[in-house]
Amino acid sequence: MTSGQQTVFCNQINSKLIGGSKIDQSLIQRRNANYKPNIWKYDIMLSLKSQYSEGKYKTEAQKLKEEVLCLLAEIVNPLAKLELIDSINKMALSHLFDKEIMESLQHMEYAKKKDSSSEMDLYSTALHFRIFRQYGFNVPQDVFLSYMNEMGDQFEVDANMDPKTMMQLFEASHLALKDENMLNEARIFCNKNLKSSNNIIPMEMPLHWKVEWYNTKRQISKHENEERGSNLKLLQLAKLNFNMVQAEHQKDLVDILRWWRKLGLIENLSFSRDRAVESFLWSVGVAFEPQHSHFRNWLTKAIIFIIVIDDVYDIYGSLKDLEIFTNAVVRWDPKEVEQLPSCMKICFWKLYDTTNDVALAIQEQMGWKLPVSTYLQKVWAEFCKALLVEAKWDQKGYTPSFSDYLDNGWKSSGGTVLSLHVLLGLSQDFSQVNDFLENEQDLIYHSSLIIRLCNDLGTSAAELERGDVSSSVLCYMKKENVKEDVAREYIKNMVTETWKKMNKHCFEQYSPSLRSLVKYIMNIARVTHFIYQNGDGFGVQDRETRQQILSSLVESLPLK
Ligand SMILES: CC(C)=CCC/C(C)=C/COP(=O)(O)OP(=O)(O)O
Ligand SMILES: [Mg+2]
């Protein structure tokens, strides 16, 4: 039976059953997505233990940190200082030097204002522009004006410029805001020229879209190859810090796997993905800093449930089941699931218990008296309601309009669930959570939209094959009557435009703690880029995702 026929069959059963009578579960045909089983041997993962938790390494790292601080203070040349800051960031050390980097940049900005005659070449301009924007300084795009043609609508520079400059310009152009035409031109110019010189410089995702922690080892080895004497201490610190932070992540992972095994959920859901390790990798990508262990624990649990519940809606549940399940989540009431098949009952109970436990843990950890579970429950309800809308479309074989699809799709992406965990787990106080929800909603929306678009770009092929009809790729193809490759290009462009809208939050006058919340929410979008860059990194987890897990969570760096 094809999946389309299955859907029809399911609908007939649904219409027979709706009307209050008890559901005969044996009559319902269930789908199966044939997702591969978990590839990680939990016993081996549970035995992960790193020597880098030992106190002696902390002392060594502190000494190296002080030496790098001296280096940062000593460098007078602005370009050399910016390059050092760039290296610190790329090797995931920025959290150790946040205050000093900010002070250095403020000082540099002041000095530049005093001496505005100093000329910069394109490489320095682009580096300066990117680093300052990253730290919230409102550098105008006009710094690139002298590289534009007279009309100001095209980049007029040598396309054979040295690769280092081209890469720097490429990176800078991704910090553009909406309607910044010069930066848009710069991006188009670099994309075109980098593509044609693909053999010399491999085409990459821009740094601004990359997950800092996933990229750290590569950056360390790049620096090692280009090593200049003065940066030796920085390199030593980066390697040691990587191993020490990884040791913390390993402890977190062990905690999560113990919880996951004890929960005993997946044994009851044969159709669903068992992705505890991959979900943990996701939360490491959102906040890798060692002090955020609790947050990673809470977020990983949420991600595991997003995946499982998504499978319940996309694969297993009949429409009647899904309406009951959604209603139970909306009412947050275990009594509502009586009529469901046992696996869905168990899924609800486990979600209910886990969410309430996480809410209590957040309250305890943060010292809040407010009922955090109400916030979490609401966001789970919104997620399930959006999944129900998609399930109805799919099971009826109905393709929504592109805009209707996206209006629902950003909610079904799970981005709001993830973002709320960021706010609850990483805010300074509860008023900050409420302020953020009131004033910065668009950031949550845009980050969620990127999840939806990247997910659709990565998974639509398999979903189309399975007979699912809701995907931005398909909706756009139908709306515009175009082929798949045209739709994919359009959606890729939408991702770029959405980043521009998110970038505006880089330049708001935020407090440092609010600035980091913005960064963590943007990190959600960055992880999505990684997971779905070459297809479905969650569904098919034995390629890039596996490599990244080994590299980030399992294998330490040899220290010479
Ligand atoms: C953990 C997070 C936030 C994941 C990203 C989006 C998501 C809901 C994936 C579920 O898998 P899927 O590929 O089956 O998604 P969908 O069914 O929505 O297409
Ligand atoms: Mg799905």
Cβ neighbors of 293 (< 8 A, separation 6 or more) are 248, 251, 252
Ligand closest to the CA atom of residue 452: 1
Distance 526 CA to ligand 2 centre (A): 20
Please compute the mean of the pLDDT values over residues 61-78 and round it to a whole number.
95
Mean pLDDT across the chain, nearest whole number? 89
Phi, psi of 155 (to 5 degrees): -75, 130
Q: Work out the burial of residue 434: count CB atoms within 10 Å of its CB; fewer than 13 is exposed, 13-18 middle, 19 or more buried.
A: middle
Ligand closest to the CA atom of residue 300: 1
Of residues 199 and 303, the one with the higher pLDDT is 303
Please compute the mean of the pLDDT values over residues 127-143 and round it to a whole number.
93
Asked whether the predicted pLDDT for residue 548 surpasses 70, the reply is: yes
DSSP 515-532: HHHHHHHHHHHHHHHHHH
State the pLDDT confidence band at 73, using cuts at 50, 70 and 90: very high
Please compute the mean of the pLDDT values over residues 104-130 and round it to a whole number.
85
Q: Which residue's CA is minimally distant from atom 11 of ligand 1?
A: 307
Asked whether the predicted pLDDT for residue 459 surpasses 90, the reply is: no
Of residues 459 and 111, the one with the higher pLDDT is 459
- How high is the ipTM of this complex? 0.98
Yes or no: say if 349 and 334 are a contact pair by the CB < 8 Å rule: yes
pLDDT-above-70 percentage for the chain: 90
Which atom of ligand 1 is the closest one to the Cα of 471? 19
Asked whether the predicted pLDDT for residue 469 surpasses 90, the reply is: no
Please compute the mean of the pLDDT values over residues 198-220 and round it to a whole number.
83
Distance 437 CA to ligand 2 centre (A): 27
Which atom of ligand 1 is the closest one to the Cα of 452? 6
Distances (CA, A) of 266 to 180, 269, 287, 311, 334: 48, 5, 26, 12, 19
Distance 314 CA to ligand 2 centre (A): 5
Asked whether the predicted pLDDT for residue 476 surpasses 70, the reply is: yes
Phi, psi of 211 (to 5 degrees): -80, 120
pLDDT tens digits, 321-339: 999 999 999 999 999 999 9
Q: Which residue's CA is minimally distant from atom 8 of ligand 1?
A: 413
Distance 43 CA to ligand 2 centre (A): 28
Yes or no: say if 383 and 309 are a contact pair by the CB < 8 Å rule: yes
Distance 475 CA to ligand 2 centre (A): 16
pLDDT tens digits, 387-435: 999 999 988 889 999 999 999 999 999 999 999 999 999 998 999 999 9
Yes or no: say if 430 and 467 are a contact pair by the CB < 8 Å rule: no
Give the pLDDT score at 461. Answer: 75
Give the pLDDT score at 61. Answer: 97
Asked whether the predicted pLDDT for residue 10 surpasses 50, the reply is: no
Distance CA 367, CA 511 (A): 21
The helix (H) or strand (E) run that includes residue 328 is helix 319-331
Q: Which of 286, 307, 416, 469 to mutate to test the pocket of ligand 1 (most atoms within 8 A of CB)?
A: 307
Q: Which of 299, 455, 457, 527 to mutate to test the pocket of ligand 1 (most atoms within 8 A of CB)?
A: 455
Asked whether the predicted pLDDT for residue 16 surpasses 50, the reply is: no
Give the pLDDT score at 116. Answer: 64
Ligand closest to the CA atom of residue 307: 1
| Residues in the ligand 1 pocket, defined by CB under 6 Å | 303, 306-307, 310, 314, 412-414, 418, 451, 455, 459, 463, 536, 538-539
Ligand closest to the CA atom of residue 539: 1
Ligand closest to the CA atom of residue 275: 1
Q: Which residue's CA is minimally distant from atom 6 of ligand 1?
A: 413
Distance CA 373, CA 53 (A): 34
pLDDT tens digits, 270-279: 899 999 999 9
Please compute the mean of the pLDDT values over residues 101-113 and round it to a whole number.
87
Closest of 340, 343, 255, 351 to residue 303, by C-alpha: 351
pLDDT tens digits, 240-265: 999 999 999 999 999 999 999 999 99
Whole-prediction pTM: 0.93
SS3 content of the chain, % helix, strand, coil (to 5): 75, 0, 25
Asked whether the predicted pLDDT for residue 538 surpasses 90, the reply is: no
Q: Which of 211, 284, 459 to mutate to test the pocket of ligand 1 (most atoms within 8 A of CB)?
A: 459
Please compute the mean of the pLDDT values over residues 472-476 and round it to a whole number.
94
Give the pLDDT score at 499. Answer: 97
Q: Work out the burial of residue 380: count CB atoms within 10 Å of its CB; fewer than 13 is exposed, 13-18 middle, 19 or more buried.
A: buried
Distance CA 492, CA 123 (A): 27
Q: Which residue's CA is minimally distant from atom 1 of ligand 1?
A: 303
pLDDT-above-90 percentage for the chain: 73
Sign of torsion over alpha carbons 339, 340, 341, 347: negative
Distance 430 CA to ligand 2 centre (A): 33
State the pLDDT confidence band at 470, using cuts at 50, 70 and 90: confident
Which residues lie at CB < 5 A from ion ligand 2?
310, 314
Distance CA 379, CA 334 (A): 17
Distance CA 9, CA 319 (A): 12
Ligand closest to the CA atom of residue 457: 1
Distance 484 CA to ligand 1 centre (A): 20
Distance 187 CA to ligand 2 centre (A): 33
Q: Which residue's CA is minimally distant from atom 7 of ligand 1?
A: 413
State the pLDDT confidence band at 117, using cuts at 50, 70 and 90: low
Asked whether the predicted pLDDT for residue 6 surpasses 60, the reply is: no
pLDDT tens digits, 483-508: 999 999 999 999 999 999 999 998 77
362 three-state secondary structure? helix
